[in-house]
Amino acid sequence: MNSDWPPPGYPLDIELIEALLSNQERVYPWNYSILEGEAYFSEIEHLMETHTSEMVADLDEGCRKFYQNLDKAWDSFQPVAANCLNSQLQGKFSPIVPQSVLEMIAAKAEELTTSSASMADQLIHCVQDSLSQWDIEDLLVLARPFAYAMRGGEEKTALDQVVQKASTLDWESCSELDRARLTLAVARYAIAYRDRPIDPV
- DSSP string covering 38-49: HHHHHHHHHHHH
Q: Which is nearest to 189 in space by CA: 102, 66, 116?
A: 102
Decide: helix, strand or coil at residue 12.
helix
Q: Phi first, then psi: give them for residue 119, nearest 5 degrees.
A: -60, -40
11 located within any domain? no
Buried b (16+ CB within 10 A) or exposed e, 136-149: eeebeebbebbbeb
Would residue 112 count as lying in a domain? Answer: yes
Residue 66: inside a domain = yes
pTM over 0.75: no
DSSP letter string, 68-101 = HHHHHHHHHHHHHHHHHHHHHHHHHHTTTS-HHH
The pLDDT score that the predictor gives to residue 48 is 79
Number of independent structural domains in the chain = 1
E-strand stretches of the chain: none
Q: How confident is the model at residue 49 (pLDDT cuts 50, 70, 90)?
A: confident
Whether residue 45 is contained in a domain is answered as no
What would the mean pLDDT of 120-148 be, rounded to a whole number?
90
pLDDT of residue 135: 93
Residues 75-109 pLDDT 10s: 555 555 557 888 888 888 888 889 999 999 999 99
Report pLDDT digits (tens) over 145-180. 888 755 554 434 666 676 677 677 778 888 899 899
Residue 51 within a domain? no
- Residues spanned by the domain of 176: 57-195
- If you average pLDDT over every residue of the chain, what do you get? 75
Question: Is residue 10 domain-resident?
Answer: no
State the Cα–Cα distance between residues 31 and 20, nearest whole angstrom: 17
Report which of 143, 131, 124 is spatially closest to residue 98, judged by C-alpha positions.
Answer: 131
> Is the predicted pLDDT of residue 74 greater than 60, yes or no?
no
Which pLDDT value is given to residue 86? Answer: 85
- Is the model more confident about 57 or about 20? 57
CB 126 within 8 A of CB 105: yes
pLDDT: which is higher, 163 or 8? 163
Which pLDDT score, from 0 to 100, does residue 123 have?
94
**86 assigned to some structural domain:** yes
pLDDT at residue number 125: 93
User: Is residue 201 assigned to a domain?
Assistant: no
61 Cβ neighbours under 8 A, 6+ residues apart: none
